[in-house]
Amino acid sequence: MKEIYCHLSNWHMPHVQCYVVRILWMVPIYAVESWLSLRFKDFSLYLRAFRESYEAYVIYCFLYYLIALIGDEHLLANILRNKPSELGSHPWPFKYCLKRWPMGRAFVNHCKLGTLQYVVLKNILTVLTVILEWNNLYREGDFSPKYGYLYVTTLTNFSQTWALYVLVKFYYAARQELQSFRPVGKFACVKAVVFLTWWQSLAISLLQAGGLIYDISEEWTKDDIGQGLQDWLVCIEMLVAAISHQRAFTYKDYAGQAKDGNGTSGLADAALYKAFLLSTLPRDLFSDLRSIALGRMGGGNGNRIENDQDKSNPGSVSN
Q: What is the mean pLDDT of residues 14-35?
A: 92
As a whole number of angstroms, the distance between CA 11 and CA 8 comes to 5
Position 292 scores a pLDDT of 78
- The dihedral formed by the CA atoms of 177, 181, 187 and 193, expressed in degrees to the nearest 10: -160
Position 287 scores a pLDDT of 81
Nearest to 193 by CA among 228, 154, 241, 155: 241
How does DSSP assign 114-131, residue by residue? HHHHHHHHHHHHHHHHHH
Q: How confident is the model at residue 20 (pLDDT cuts 50, 70, 90)?
A: very high
Q: What is the mean pLDDT of the chain?
A: 83
Q: What percent of the chain lies above the pLDDT cut of 90?
A: 39
Position 271 scores a pLDDT of 58
Query: How confident is the model over 151-175, as pLDDT tens digits?
Result: 998 999 899 889 999 999 999 999 9
Query: How confident is the model over 43-53, as pLDDT tens digits?
Result: 888 888 888 88
Query: How confident is the model over 177-218, as pLDDT tens digits?
Result: 998 888 888 988 988 888 788 788 888 888 888 888 887 877
- Residue 124 pLDDT greater than 80, yes or no: yes
Q: In whole angstroms, how far apart are CA 232 and each of 7, 34, 61, 179, 304?
A: 29, 7, 27, 36, 39
